[in-house]
Amino acid sequence: MKEIFDILTNLPHSPARTGILHTRHGEVPTPVFCPVGSQASVKTLAPEEIKAAGANMILANTYHLYLRPGIETVRSMGGLHRFMGWDRPILTDSGGFQLFSLAPLVKITEEGVVFRSHIDGSRHFITPEDAVYFQQDLGTDIMMVLDDVPPHDAPPDKISVAVERTSRWAERCLAARNSPDQMLFAIVQGGISPEMRRQSADQLAQLDFDGFAIGGLSLGEAKLDTWQTVEATVPRLPEDRPRYLMGVGSPEDLIEGISRGIDIFDSVLPTRVARNGGLYTQSGRINIKNSRMKLLDAPVEKDCNCYTCQTFSAAYLAHLFRSGEVLGLRLATIHNVSFIQRLVNKARQAILDGTFNLFKEGFLEGYRPSDEVKRNEQKQKWLRRNRLQD
């Protein structure tokens, strides 16, 4: 059996763990957060800036790359790594969520998904097999199966259909793979029903996947439902394979996810909030456009070692945002990506040191999360407007 994942540390009174994920583009210490570069670009950042921020692995999106520039174009350019100038591991989402997001423009059948492009309205048909072939052509390190993503508040019968179809499609994806050095992960679905999640996990765990993801969360459900769903799912997944919680990336959620045994995370949140003037600090998220920032002759966060905080004052960033200067978006993104990477690395070290529970308690006591109701309202508004653009 090929070497996939080594577990280094298991805590006696917590599911939190550390490990090493072995990919063909290098080893990845876990837990790990992947900045999102859906269209072969982490917005506003060059590859060297992403590395300097501490990222070891990024995420790209097959749906976006299929539509433009096209899978064949990327393949002809030597694969996604060469195309975008990134020599570290890449995880690609199959695009199942983006297809779900198309709503009236998509039709799901047993054979696959018929949809119209959100760009030009052209008609397309993608099968589970196609999703694997596309990702193999992209040359990514970790591929995701094509799954059926029901809304978290869908009726039970619709969730049940999606769970069964996701399992059948997963088997087809596994059979289609012919590049054994590229990992293939299954995706557990089931809405916020613990029973459906356990059923989905049990079905997929019987198959020889390299890792297992938990999908369909962080889409508007209450945080309590998110974590109850994760807690119902994780124990049903193989202990020796990496666990990936898709689309989760706020600082407090990363710590909560790590405490529940999650190894891999991704989210557009750190880069998206940066472009809107939101910057992370140890005490919570600040808005650089607030009037109190205009004369703050100090970095956004005093002890931050990122390029932004080591070089510029908060007042300068506030000026850039107020003036509409693109540099402001870039500097804010550098800070947020660096903050998230540093936070996850601190959590990892705390697990290694056996002090994770104290670390979690201390961080969550000092960090002021965004209001959940307001955040969900903002997220739903953003999803309606921009869900296919990040």
CATH of the domain at 84: 3.20.20.105
Clarify whether residues 113 and 134 are in a common domain: yes
Domain end, chosen from 268, 296, 323, is at 268
The tens-digit pLDDT sequence of the chain (390 residues) is 478 999 999 988 899 999 999 999 999 999 999 999 999 999 999 999 999 999 999 999 999 999 999 999 999 999 999 999 999 999 999 988 888 777 778 999 999 999 999 899 999 999 999 999 999 999 999 999 999 999 888 999 999 999 999 999 999 999 999 999 999 999 999 999 999 999 999 999 999 999 999 999 999 999 999 999 999 999 999 999 999 999 999 999 999 999 999 999 999 999 999 999 999 999 999 999 999 999 999 999 999 999 999 999 999 999 999 999 999 999 999 999 999 999 999 999 999 999 999 999 999 999 999 876 555 665 555 455 545 556
The domain in which residue 299 lies consists of: 274-372
Q: Is 371 a catalytic residue?
A: no
Task: Give DSSP secondary structure letters for 263-292.
Answer: -EEEESHHHHHHHTTEEEETTEEEETTSGG
Query: In this structure, are 244 and 285 located in the same domain?
Result: no
| Residue 108 lies inside a defined structural domain of this protein | yes
In angstroms, the CA 228 to CA 71 distance is 38
Say yes or no: 213 and 199 in one domain: yes
The pLDDT of residue 1: 47
d(CA 211, CA 187): 9
Kindly state whether residue 385 falls inside one of the protein's structural domains.
no
Same domain, 282 and 156: no
Q: Catalytic residue at 93?
A: yes
- Whether residue 251 sits in one domain with residue 218: yes
Catalytic residue, candidates 225, 266, 303, 390: 266
Choice among 93, 137, 141, 210 that is catalytic = 93
Angle at 388 between CA 268 and CA 80, to 5 degrees: 70
149 and 197 housed in the same domain:
yes
| Residue 105, pLDDT score | 83
Q: What's the pLDDT score for residue 327?
A: 98
Residues 80 and 215 in one domain: yes
Same domain for 289 and 263, yes or no, is no
